[in-house]
Amino acid sequence: METEKRQSGIYELQGYAIALDKIVFITRVFEADGGEGYQFNIRFSGDLRLAPRYSTRHEADLQRALLLKALVASGQG
């Protein structure tokens, strides 16, 4: 289960610990290539990218919204 840790500026998503202060931008949710569900991209400083994929658009929208909420709560958004 994805959880968030706002106090430390770390957010957990699909097993990855994301440093919120390293996020440069987050794309909208879109259909993944080859009909493999839905995804959004997270771009970090240093040109690193993470593209979490979900089986339904609703789940992808929810996880993106929770990440954005964590960014705002941490003062990074």
Q: How far apart are the first and last CA of the chain?
A: 23
Give me the domain span that covers residue 29. Answer: 4-74
Residue 44, pLDDT > 70, answer yes
Structural domains in the chain (count): 1
Q: Hey, how many other C-beta atoms are within 10 angstroms of the C-beta on 67? A: 22
**Which CATH number characterizes residue 17's domain?**
2.30.29
- Global pTM reads 0.83
Residue 47: how many CA atoms within 13 Å on its side-chain side? Answer: 0
SS3 71: helix
pLDDT digits (tens, 9 = 90+) for 4-43: 444 568 999 999 999 999 999 999 999 999 989 999 999 9
Q: Residue 63 — very low, low, confident or very high, per pLDDT cuts 50/70/90?
A: very high
